[in-house]
Structure 1
Amino acid sequence: MEITFNGKRALVTGAGKGIGRVIVIELMKCGAQVVALSRTQSDLDSLKAEYPQVEIVLCDLADLQESNKIIAGLGDFDLLVNNAAIAKCGSFLDTKCSDVADMMNINVNAVINVSQVVVKSMIRRGVGGAIVNISSQASMAALADHVGYAATKGALDSATRVMACELGPKNIRVNAVNPTVITTDMSMAGWSDPARAAWMKERIPLGRFGDPIEVAQPVLFLLSDKASMINGTTIPIDGGFTAC
């Protein structure tokens, strides 16, 4: 099954490293014109050096007003991947409400903010479009030390469904994917302890963590016309963790 995005323009947030970076690369391989957004200039410079055709944008999504202006100035998009996220994990009793607020601002508020800008353009042009939000298995199954992060990803799943209901009549599809631990810097920071990693792998039927490409490929499918009747879903990419 060949997926092509020739003539399509895509925006990917959190695109400097990890899952976002791989999604950017795979979109370009399929013919999309991609705008990669990150808050870290060095990551963007590295991506640009490797793939000169990518358009890079420095933007801190925590500043909702400023990021709104920046994204509105980038032009029109057909595809959007809301990948940017932060995680501040700790035990329930030690979790600070300020940390939860920081995560909510990036993991939920920024997704809504970015999507509103992109969707208004889609509606104005009457062309439809597709959005994929990168959620987490933490929204689907309880994980110790993840109370704040899980709460934000649960909110993101709910936002995804509401977006799908409201935007479907405009031919704009919205879905989410919910990965398990993926071998990225962000994920491995919380799972670098061998004993803790072994505990998680024992609960994943496939017995391993995922690779960023194993998230990118389902995302590309959901963005493509091959998924034209898929809307409002939250799809685990977890090796069977949430099934057991």
Structure 2
Amino acid sequence: MLKLPRTPSFRLDGRAALVVGASSGIGLAAAAALAEAGARVTLAARSADRLDEVVSAFAEAGYEARAMALDVQNVEETEARVAESGPFDILVNSAGIARHAPALQTSLADFDLTTDINLRGAYFLTRAVASMLISAGRPGSLINISSQMAHVGGIDRAVYSATKHAVEGFTKSMAIEWGGHGIRVNTICPTFIRTPLAEQTFANPERLKWVEDKIKLGRIGEVEDIMGAVTFLASDAASLITGSALMIDGGWTAD
């Protein structure tokens, strides 16, 4: 009798997840998605006060979660915190910042801050989590929240786009290096999502029209649009996916 194949599980029971940038927006949604799938989630962000509120909300929903104050700009602190609390089977790095301006008006301070968080911080955070997994002989799924701007350019986004292109580059290289350890490294590339980070763009009528014209599905993204992708990439259902970028852009980059 023919035995039908079965879909690998999307459940994450028994797995430890670290979500950075978890106090709001995409990071918070990613953490909720992982917890809903059964993961034990460590919620990390710079704002300890906000994290306490988030942990309480997770507990009320019946999820297992704890808080970790963490600033990815401080590489030594990041490595120490990961070493103290890991290993983590899953990483979702949603820590990020944007300082939008025309390229001719980019300040050195904005350039340094954006690259420190979006590139330097992301690189060493991903490395720290992978290092613990390799030492423990465990596989894992490491996910960096990138952007559609990692694949195209955008108005006033030269620096932001540069950092996200760089994230795609190190993600692919790390995937090659750590594949033999069973560690998968991927990115999720959202379009404009309704979060506090995007409010500056939405408040500008010209920029809002630009966004709406570029998104082929005709609507701004919501954080819920990211949640299924996070669970998928973290789970066994994505066990052969590494070094890839999952576009959640409403067709922006299809041109």
Which one is further off, 217-226 or 44-53? 44-53
The secondary structure found in structure 1 opposite 2:85 is coil
Q: Does 1:116 align with 2:116?
A: no
Count of residues paired in the alignment: 244
Is the 2:201–2:208 contact (alpha carbons within 8 Å) kept by the matching residues of 1? no
Q: Does 1:234 align with 2:241?
A: no
2:49 & 2:218 partners in 1: Cα distance?
34
1:43 & 1:80 partners in 2: Cα distance?
20
Q: CA RMSD in A?
A: 1.3
Aligned residue for 1:224? Answer: 235
Q: Does 1:75 align with 2:116?
A: no
1:194 & 1:37 partners in 2: Cα distance?
34
Is the 1:182–1:188 contact (alpha carbons within 8 Å) kept by the matching residues of 2? no
Is the 1:80–1:131 contact (alpha carbons within 8 Å) kept by the matching residues of 2? yes
Aligned residue for 2:150? Answer: 139
1:196 & 1:104 partners in 2: Cα distance?
23
1:49 & 1:201 partners in 2: Cα distance?
36
User: Per-residue CA shift, 1:187-236, capped at 9, x if unaligned?
Assistant: 22232223321221111110111111111211210111101111101121
Structural mapping, 1:1-244, within 5 Å: 3-52=10-59, 53-244=64-255
2:239 & 2:11 partners in 1: Cα distance?
14
Question: Which residue identity does 2:151 align to in structure 1?
Answer: M
Is the 2:34–2:41 contact (alpha carbons within 8 Å) kept by the matching residues of 1? yes
1:72 & 1:189 partners in 2: Cα distance?
37
**TM-score normalized with structure 2 length:** 0.92
Larger Rg: 2
The secondary structure found in structure 2 opposite 1:61 is coil
Q: What is the percentage of aligned positions where both structures have the same residue? A: 34
Q: CA deviation at 1:179?
A: 0.6
Is the 1:201–1:208 contact (alpha carbons within 8 Å) kept by the matching residues of 2? yes
Is the 1:27–1:220 contact (alpha carbons within 8 Å) kept by the matching residues of 2? yes
Question: Which residue identity does 1:206 align to in structure 2?
Answer: L
- Structure 1, unaligned stretches of length 5 or more? none
1:21 & 1:152 partners in 2: Cα distance?
22
Aligned residue for 2:3? Answer: none
Structure 1's consecutive aligned runs of 4 or more residues displaced over 4 angstroms after TM superposition are none
Is the 1:135–1:177 contact (alpha carbons within 8 Å) kept by the matching residues of 2? yes
Question: Which residue identity does 2:216 align to in structure 1?
Answer: P
- Structure 2, unaligned stretches of length 5 or more? 1-6
